[in-house]
Structure 1
Amino acid sequence: MESPDERNGNDVRQPLLEKIPAKKEAEGEERLCIDEMLQRYCGEFGRWQLKHFVLTCIAWALEAFHTMVMIFADQEPEWRCVGSDCRVGSSNCDMDPSSWEWTAGKGSSTVSEWGLICGEKYKVGLVQALFFAGCMIGAGVFGHLSDSKLGRKGSLTVVCIINAIFGIATAFSPNYWTYVVLRFLTGFSTGGVGLTAFVLATEPIGPSKRGVAGMSTFYFFSAGIALLSGIAYVFRSWRELFIVSSLPSLLFLLIVIPFISESPRWYLVRGKVDEAMKLMHLIAKTNGRHIPAGVTLALDDDVENKNGERNTAVEGSLKDVILSPLMRIRLLISVAISFTVSIVYYGLSLNVVNLKTNLYLNVFVNAVSEMPAFAITAVLLDKYGRKPLSIGTQWFSCIFCLVGFAVWGAGPWKSVRMVSGVLGIFGMAGTYNLLFIYIAELFPTVVRNAALGCATQAAQMGAILAPFVVVLGEELPFGVFAVCGLVGGGLAFYLPETLNKPLYDTMSGMHEAESESNRGRGEVIC
């Protein structure tokens, strides 16, 4: 342990403790930031973190259920001729309605039940766009609530309750417009699931393990999509599918949520030091470790009362981010990158899904094919850093999108374009998931979920626009995707590297540490 004199010199490796020395010799008390306490006494990723991580990340599979169920519920089923006026191979829009019928019956999808074909086909895209619009609004609302009074666990509980209620209610929609409203409300809650679960799962993990753990959260989302394809194969009625895909949210509330703990970082910034310390002692005990007497937690800009204990909550909001030049630039760049990445990711996903193959098998293969991207990114993340990997994966996708734009769409070149699309989404899948880790590390605890909420809102806006890009034709969408990848990678140059830097607690703590770092006084590795 360094002496206070050494720390007051040129070494800022402990930025959270500059105002309060790590040891108060007079009081016999050692005050540490959460990252250092995890490293020295609790363990960075032991049995407690593993259990907490797995239980919390199950919520990602629930998000996949509520988001991707539209692929199956809103699909246009096969039809067959039943009259002499029916002509196989032509459009059913030009035929007498009595000359053809849906092969699986009217109840197989919303399209067949409400006749969303021909002139009404736009309504399928409309309900999808409004779902993502609900996600965009919900991400901002629950991003703020999880940073403030509700907390991470409280927000996750609320969004799962809303998901279960409106997800099941959707199955009983009497008409199209009721269906639209219920899908919008489901999207509102779904927008808060992923960001809340991500922050809650990764905040109690030590800095050297956080990158790999953060990338691993997205295996649960892909696994959820793969599992949903099997569920949809068994339950072919869209009403049954909504009920079956929404029930897991109810089970999650009853069986899993009671065993998930609140984030110790949220306790700390809310002034609940006793609760934070109880949780840190539990983490240490479960991991077979021990926190010595006299060791307690400290924030970046620790405000003490006369007893030396924090009892004041530290507040933060998007207003504070916008008023801070440092945070404002980071937020704007993060939002812009999230927007461009989402257009490419969802746009290329739609191109792959629209292949004339078995829908259920195709969705399953797409979900599984993303997993190697997560694994490779996780391996490289802590070796090369967040910034180079963010740039590299976006430009990797850009290159193959350019290939898809340049080649002909006929003959053998059609296969080249298909492979280019697969490799493009491979690169962008790594970027999309890396951004959650990167943005979480760019902002302090008091505004972390609010910043992630803004980025998620931008991503949802990109998801809304992606289908409109896809319908531009065969070549042009690849050109748009290439430009988005090029611009997104260029913007990432203006973000700082966060590898081996701490998760700061407060705005002032991050500002102070960054100022010291910019003056060349050392690397922040608390």
Structure 2
Amino acid sequence: MAETISSTEDDATPTPMSVEEVIEGSLGKMTWNQILQAVFACIPPIFDNQQTLISVFTDAQPAWYCTNTNILNCNSYSNICSLPRADWNWVANKNRTIISDWDLECASSFIKGLPATCYFVGCLLTGFLVASLGDTSLGRKNLLLFSCLTMSLAALASGFAPSFWWYCVLRFICGAGRVSITISSFVLLSEKVGKRWRGQIVLLGFISLTLGILSLTGIAYFTRTSSWRALYIWTSTPGILYSVMIHFCLFESPRWLFLQGRQNEAVSVLKRIGTLSHLSSVLARNMFKIEQSNVNPFSSMRVIAKKRWAIQRLLVTMVLSFGVGMMYFGMFLGVGSLGPNIYLSSIYNSLIFLVSSLLSYLFWIQRVNRRSSILGFCTVSGATGIVSIIAGHDQKGIRVGLELTALFCACMVFNILFIYTVELFPTCVRNTAVSLSRQALLFASVFVPVLVVIGRRNELFGHTVFGVTIIVCGLLVLSLPETRGKVLCDTMEEQEVTAKDCGLCGCI
């Protein structure tokens, strides 16, 4: 009889709930508070994209005209450095861009592209260190605040740079600060809603990236008669004000708080943005189990290094990202080559990015294979980029159409490759793999500014480098397995078993 009572009491003991069950029970249904938090969390990528592409306007080569009409063959195709300074002048005011303001019109391509290169080098060098802080000491919210504030303050200071070299240093600091903004924003977006709404909410982040380009173009257009410094002031001030608002209005990820052992704070966040109902009493009695993750940022690299197939996949995805980055940033930063109306060209590019994001996440990814999509879009992007210079040399409309096609295909690969990399690796190393793939993308951006400047003098050379790179890198996708419709694995062992069951043994 005693044994029966004991058994009954044991059966009555509530089963501890996992963090995933607690969060899904609270955030499974979308609430207005969740929507407001999502909207607020997707704002920082707007400022991020503004600073990433601001060099399109501030570092552009301004137009000039001949003041001495007696000089023969003096036109926009003439070598400005071969003419006496008194025989030509800038179309707009001298302070419109850094090229005219600091008399860099005859400087080397390396010098002209150095500020943008310093920005991307800052992103590259701090990417590995700062990104891990979001999983450990700082958390998602504080890392977002720190990154946005650092980037915005450095951008504001760039508007008051006393010299070209100080300007390069400040652009480096700006790039170092912004590296975790989009990642932290997307993580916060995905961790504050249930898995049912995760895809739709993350799409807000891609829309905000488009808004960043559009808003930058609008501000640049309305300040086109002012100094380039005004553009930095107008784009950085909202970011500084928003950083202050993050502290008061944006909540930390409840999932991260649970994993850090800060249960009371996690419950407080869930009560404010979710629907706890019966889970509130369970949480109040601490009737849940916490599976704390390993915070060592290098442990996952050791796991990858032990598996040959994992190293192969990682290297291929990184090379793919490098090729996509060359074409992606090359088209965005080289919009000036489309013609004198740089503002209209920038709007075209941003709308192309928006359309590609909507098409990718609402239609393409669910229905089409990853490998064939990446291979096809890489090939078309590279080919149209090269042909746009050859076939569209005298036809501006044909050239613009081909270049926009090249950019659209590069954006499609950019979106599909992100999902493909997530599916290629198990949960235990997925964040590391995606981060390294993103770093390869940023590594490509280090070379792009110099190539864009060279392309102003030799457009065929620049477009050929971008096009050939993305085509060659795209061919490597043939060495990877197809992942569409496959389950996501959690461990390396599960990934190996799944690959063998699907007949993909040759890929591991």
- For the superposition of Structure 1 and Structure 2, which TM-score range results when normalised by the shorter chain? 0.7 to 0.9
- Partner residue in 2 for 1:152: 140
> In structure 1, what residue type is equivalent to 2:470?
C
**Using a 3 Å threshold, how does the CA distance of structure 1 residues 206 and 381 change in structure 2: closer, same or farther?**
farther
2:400, 2:185 → 1: CA distance? 34
RMSD: 3.5
How far apart are residue 382 of structure 1 and its match? 5.8
Counterpart Cα distance in 2 of 1:345 and 1:81: 35
Please say if 1:364 is aligned against 2:358: no
Residue pairs, 1:370-519, within 5 angstroms: 370-380=353-363, 383-384=366-367, 388-389=369-370, 391-405=372-386, 408-409=390-391, 415-439=397-421, 450-467=432-449, 471=455, 473-474=459-460, 477-478=463-464, 480-481=466-467, 484-485=470-471, 487-488=473-474, 490-491=476-477, 494=480, 497=483, 510-511=491-492, 514=495, 517=498
Counterpart amino acid of 1:220? Answer: S
Tell me the matched-pair count: 480
Indicate if the aligned counterparts of 2:109 and 2:450 stay in contact, CA closer than 8 A. Answer: no
Q: CA shift at 1:175, angstroms?
A: 1.0
Q: From the superposition, tell whether residues 38 and 434 of structure 1 become closer, same or farther in structure 2 (CA, over 3 Å).
A: farther
Cα deviation digits, residues 116-153 of structure 1 (max 9, x gap) = 11244531212211211111123222211112211111
Q: Is the 8 A contact 2:123 2:442 kept in 1?
A: yes
- Whether the 8 Å CA contact 2:219–2:231 is kept in 1: the answer is yes
Which secondary structure does the structure 1 equivalent of 2:89 belong to? strand
State the SS of the aligned residue for 2:338: coil
User: Relative to 1, partners in 2 of residues 1:279 and 1:510: Cα closer, same or farther, differing over 3 Å?
Assistant: farther
In structure 1, what residue type is equivalent to 2:154?
Answer: F
Distance 2:393 2:418 in 1: 40
Change (3 A) 1:451 1:516: closer
Residues 77 and 109, structure 1, Cα contact 8 Å, conserved in 2? yes
- Equivalent residue in structure 1 for 2:253, among 260, 263, 268: 263
Alignment correspondent of 1:100: 88
After TM superposition, the score normalised by the length of structure 1 is 0.80
**Alpha-carbon distance, 1:496 to partner:** 6.6
Residue by residue over 1:308-327, the C-alpha shift from the partner in whole angstroms, topping out at 9 and shown as x without a partner, is 75496632313432333376
Letter in 2 for 1:232: A
Greater relative contact order (Cα 8 A, min sep 6): structure 1 or 2? 1
Q: Distance in 2 between matches of 1:319 and 1:405?
A: 42
Cα 1:475–1:70 change in 2 (3 A) is closer
SS of aligned partner of 2:180: helix
Change (3 A) 1:320 1:169: same
Residue 314 and residue 221 in structure 1: after superposition, are their counterparts in 2 closer, same or farther (change >3 A)? same
Residues 72-471 of structure 1 aligned to structure 2 (within 5 Å)? 72-83=57-68, 88-89=74-75, 90-235=78-223, 236-285=226-275, 291=279, 293-294=281-282, 309-310=289-290, 314-324=294-304, 325=307, 328-380=311-363, 383-384=366-367, 388-389=369-370, 391-405=372-386, 408-409=390-391, 415-439=397-421, 450-467=432-449, 471=455
What SS is found at the alignment partner of 1:101? Answer: strand
Check if 1:52 corresponds to 2:7: no
Instruction: Tell me the distance in 2 between the aligned counterparts of 1:106 and 1:317.
Output: 48
Larger mean CA deviation between 258-267 and 126-135 belongs to 258-267
Q: 1:195/1:520 Cα in 2 relative to 1: closer, same or farther (>3 Å)?
A: same
After superposition, the Cα gap between the structure-2 partners of 1:397 and 1:473, relative to the gap in structure 1 and judged at 3 Å, is: same
- 1:32 matched to which residue of 2? 18
Asked if the contact 1:392–1:489 (Cα under 8 Å) also holds between the matched residues in 2, the reply is no
Residues 404 and 124 (structure 1), Cα distance of their counterparts in 2 relative to 1, 3 Å cut: closer
TM-aligned CA deviation for residue 434 of structure 1: 4.1
Taking structure 1 as reference, are residues 185 and 289 closer, same or farther at Cα in structure 2, changes over 3 Å only? same
Read off the aligned partner of 1:64 and give its amino acid letter: N
Structure 1 stretch displaced more, 186-195 or 269-278: 269-278
- Give yes or no for contact 2:382–2:470 (8 Å, CA) kept in 1: no
2:3 corresponds to = none
Residues 77, 402 of structure 1: alpha-carbon distance in 2 compared, 3 angstrom cutoff: closer
Between the aligned partners of 2:162 and 2:366, the Cα distance in structure 1 is 54
Which secondary structure does the structure 2 equivalent of 1:135 belong to?
helix
Q: Which stretch has the larger CA shift, 127-136 or 312-321?
A: 312-321
User: What amino acid is aligned across from residue 253 of structure 1 in structure 2?
Assistant: S
1:106, 1:113 within 8 Å by CA — same for their partners in 2?
yes
Check conservation: 1:316, 1:447, Cα contact below 8 A. no
Task: Report the secondary structure of 1:29's partner residue.
Answer: coil
Tell me, what secondary structure is at the counterpart of 2:448? Answer: helix
User: 2:428, 2:492 within 8 Å by CA — same for their partners in 1?
Assistant: no
Distance 1:207 1:415, change over 3 A: same
CA pair 446-490 structure 1, distance change in 2 beyond 3 A: closer
Which amino acid is 2:297 matched to? S
Change (3 A) 1:246 1:152: same
Preserved contact between residue 23 and residue 255 of structure 2 (Cα < 8 Å): no
Instruction: Tell me, in whole angstroms, the C-alpha distance in 2 between the residues paired with 1:345 and 1:296.
Output: 49
- Point out the more displaced range, 202-211 or 66-75: 202-211
| Separation in 2, partners of 1:25, 1:515 | 38
- Post-superposition Cα deviations, 1:352-394, rounded to whole Å, max 9, x if no partner, equal 4411131122212221222111111111256237xx2464155
- Per the TM alignment, residue 73 of structure 1 is displaced from its structure 2 partner at its CA by 0.8
Cα 1:341–1:169, aligned 2, differ >3 Å: closer, same or farther? same
Q: 1:401, 1:421 within 8 Å by CA — same for their partners in 2?
A: no
**How far off its partner does 1:169 sit?**
0.9
The CA deviation at 1:40 is 4.6
Residues 398-407 or 47-56, more deviating: 398-407
Q: Taking every aligned residue pair, what percent have the same amino acid on both sides?
A: 25
Assess, with a 3 A threshold, how the Cα gap between structure 1 residues 67 and 311 changes in structure 2: closer, same or farther: closer
CA spacing shift, 1:312–1:513, aligned 2, 3 Å: same
Partners of 1:276 and 1:191 lie apart in 2 by 26
**CA apart distance, 1:86:** 5.3
Q: Is the 8 A contact 1:75 1:109 kept in 2?
A: yes
Change (3 A) 1:44 1:392: farther
Q: Deviations over 1:477-502 (max 9, x none)?
A: 34752552463364376267386857
CA distance in 2, matches of 1:100, 1:345: 35
Distance in 2 separating the partners of 1:191 and 1:439: 19
Q: Given that residues 317 and 446 in structure 1 are in contact (C-alpha distance below 8 angstroms), is that contact kept between their aligned partners in structure 2?
A: no
Length-normalised TM-score, structure 2: 0.82
Gaps of 5+ in 2: 1-9, 503-508
How far apart, CA to CA, are the structure 2 residues paired with 1:493 and 1:296?
51
For structure 1, the residue ranges without an aligned partner over 5 or more in a row are 1-23, 299-306, 522-526
